[in-house]
């Protein structure tokens, strides 16, 4: 009989969701938390799960871990459909959902001992993981006396009790000081380099951009883009070339005549969608215009994120008798919502909205 670990090797996805939908009822009506999410997290490496606050990241993670029930859709972890098969795979999944939550009156060590007891881990594992996160000396202090950074480290220690193949960190650096943020980032990177799959959800671009191999961007519970960081940046926004030149207006005329998209901005010429910067210099030189300086501006993940999530306000309300889920598990969409674009290769640019607006913290 095949083991769980062997069975999981049959899939390339650590996490896979299809048509995942979750709504919340309140006195104001029903709000959509996750709206037909198709998420794929490849096995191995760090996967960033990006979205503005309230975009459905935590709700998705809670559903994956069996803490919340989806209205419809399917979820798989290492090929096993969850939450039904969670008992089979939970030993391979370590998770910190939002803030670490332990018993405040127990020591850090006692909290871990209880969790270790629940999964039958050996007692010595508790000491090992506490040492691994640098909490050995404070392990007999009550949890309520821990700083936020220590709480995060204890939570990471808890996840390591299982020696998991998949680690899920939900907003792991919230409230941490710069040193704590760096520590968490290095931990995630280290785990990814050891072949673990790390899913890190965040609304902070810088945090994810530095460690993620692949990312998924969601807004209002829907997938907006998915793929490697380079793919998303490259696909979503072409390069812009900035040209310093004596006669910018004349240069724009020449470039436009050559079929390029050019404009003057603050005394410099900006040429959009340039595949090869030498094309710009060749056209200008051909007209007797010589470039003083030339810079290729590539879009970064943040600009792509802002572009994709512009207008994606969190959780709009729909009436109680509003659009529900289809019988096939597909999510119903409100009027005017963007339809998913076809997926191309590993890059899945799903929808694109308006201009940049707002920002991320």
Partner 1 sequence: MRLLRVELLRFRSRALIRWGAAGAVLIGLLFVFGAYQSSAPVPQAEIDAARADYDEAVADWEENGAEYTAECEEEEAAEKENDPTVDFGCEDGGPGEWSDWIGGTSSFSDVGLELVDVAGVVYLMVALVLGVTFSAAEMSTGAISSWLTFEPRRRRVYWSKLAAAAIGVLPIVAVALGVVVGGAWLAFTLNDAQGSMTTGAWAGLAWVLARTLLGAAAFAALGVALGVLTRSTAGALGLVFAWLVVVEMIFGTMEFFGGLKRFLLAVNTQAWVSGRATYYTETCVASDDRGIDCTYAEHVVPMTQGGLVLAVLVVVVCVTAAVTFRRRDIA
Other C-beta atoms closer than 10 Å to the C-beta of 263 total: 13
Establish if 87 lies at the interface with partner 1 (CB under 8 A).
Answer: yes
Q: Residue 208: helix, strand or coil by DSSP?
A: helix
The structure tokens listed for 9 are 């090797």
Establish if 273 lies at the interface with partner 1 (CB under 8 A).
Answer: no
Q: How far is the CB of 95 from partner 1 (least distance, A)?
A: 5
Q: Which helix (H) or strand (E) holds 319?
A: none
Q: How far is the CB of 112 from partner 1 (least distance, A)?
A: 11
**Half-sphere exposure at residue 252, Cβ-oriented, CA atoms within 13 angstroms:** 13
Report the residue from 103, 341, 354, 358 that binds partner 1 according to the rule CB under 8 A: 103
Q: Residue 280: helix, strand or coil by DSSP?
A: helix
By CB under 8 A, the residues from 169 to 198 that bind partner 1 are none
The piece of 12-20, 66-74, 184-192, 223-231 that touches partner 1 (CB under 8 A) is 66-74
Report the residue from 5, 101, 140, 282 that binds partner 1 according to the rule CB under 8 A: 101
Nearer to partner 1 among residue 75 and residue 255 (C-beta): 75
Closest CA to 58 of 166, 200, 210: 200
The piece of 12-20, 59-67, 190-198, 304-312 that touches partner 1 (CB under 8 A) is 59-67
Establish if 93 lies at the interface with partner 1 (CB under 8 A).
Answer: yes
Establish if 113 lies at the interface with partner 1 (CB under 8 A).
Answer: yes
Establish if 110 lies at the interface with partner 1 (CB under 8 A).
Answer: yes
User: In what side-by-side order are the strands of the sheet with 317-318?
Assistant: 80-82, 72-77, 13-26, 29-42, 317-318
End-to-end CA distance of the chain: 50
The structure tokens listed for 146 are 């821990």
Establish if 206 lies at the interface with partner 1 (CB under 8 A).
Answer: no
Report the residue from 4, 115, 240, 260 that binds partner 1 according to the rule CB under 8 A: 115
Do the bridges between strand 222-228 and strand 80-82 make them parallel or antiparallel, or are there none, so unpaired? unpaired
Report the residue from 77, 158, 205, 251 that binds partner 1 according to the rule CB under 8 A: 158
DSSP per position, 78-124: TTEEETTTHHHHGGGEEEE-SS----TTSBHHHHHHHHHHHHT--HH
Establish if 53 lies at the interface with partner 1 (CB under 8 A).
Answer: no
Establish if 292 lies at the interface with partner 1 (CB under 8 A).
Answer: no
Backbone φ, ψ for residue 354 (5° rounding): 30, -155
Establish if 62 lies at the interface with partner 1 (CB under 8 A).
Answer: yes
Closest CA to 167 of 5, 327, 46: 46
Residues that bind partner 1 (CB under 8 A): 62, 65-69, 83, 86-87, 90, 93-95, 97, 99-106, 110, 113-115, 117-120, 155, 158, 162
């Amino acid at each position: 009989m095949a083991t769980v670990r062997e069975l999981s090797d049959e899939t390339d996805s650590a996490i896979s969701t299809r048509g995942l939908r979750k709504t919340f009822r309140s006195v104001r009506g029903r709000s959509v938390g996750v709206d037909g999410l198709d998420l794929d997290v490849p096995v191995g490496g760090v996967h960033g799960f990006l979205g503005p606050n309230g975009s459905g990241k935590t709700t998705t993670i809670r559903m994956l871990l069996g803490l919340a029930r989806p209205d419809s859709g399917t979820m798989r972890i290492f090929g096993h459909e969850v939450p039904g098969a969670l008992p089979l795979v939970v030993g391979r999944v370590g998770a910190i959902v939002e803030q670490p939550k332990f018993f405040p009156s127990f020591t850090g060590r006692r909290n871990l001992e209880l969790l270790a007891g629940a999964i039958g881990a050996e007692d010595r594992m508790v000491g090992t993981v506490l040492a691994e996160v640098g909490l050995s000396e404070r392990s007999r202090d009550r949890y309520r006396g821990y700083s936020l950074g220590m709480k995060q480290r204890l939570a990471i220690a808890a996840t390591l009790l299982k020696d998991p193949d998949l680690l899920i960190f939900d907003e792991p650096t919230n409230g941490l000081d710069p040193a704590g943020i760096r520590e968490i980032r290095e931990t995630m990177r280290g785990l990814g380099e050891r072949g673990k799959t790390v899913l890190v959800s965040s609304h902070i671009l810088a945090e994810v951009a530095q460690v993620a191999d692949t990312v998924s961007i969601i807004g209002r519970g829907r997938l907006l883009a998915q793929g490697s960081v380079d793919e998303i940046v490259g696909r979503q926004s072409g390069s812009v070339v900035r040209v310093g030149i004596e006669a910018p207006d004349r240069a724009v005329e020449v470039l436009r005549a050559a079929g390029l998209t050019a404009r003057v901005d603050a005394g410099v010429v900006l040429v959009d969608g340039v595949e090869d910067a030498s094309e710009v210099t060749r056209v200008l030189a051909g007209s007797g215009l010589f470039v003083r300086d030339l810079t290729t501006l590539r879009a970064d993940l943040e600009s792509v994120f802002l572009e994709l999530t512009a207008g994606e306000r969190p959780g709009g309300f729909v009436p109680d008798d509003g659009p529900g889920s289809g019988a096939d598990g597909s999510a119903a969409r409100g009027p005017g919502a963007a339809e998913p674009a076809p997926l191309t290769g590993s890059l899945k640019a799903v929808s694109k909205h308006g201009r940049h607006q707002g920002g991320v913290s």
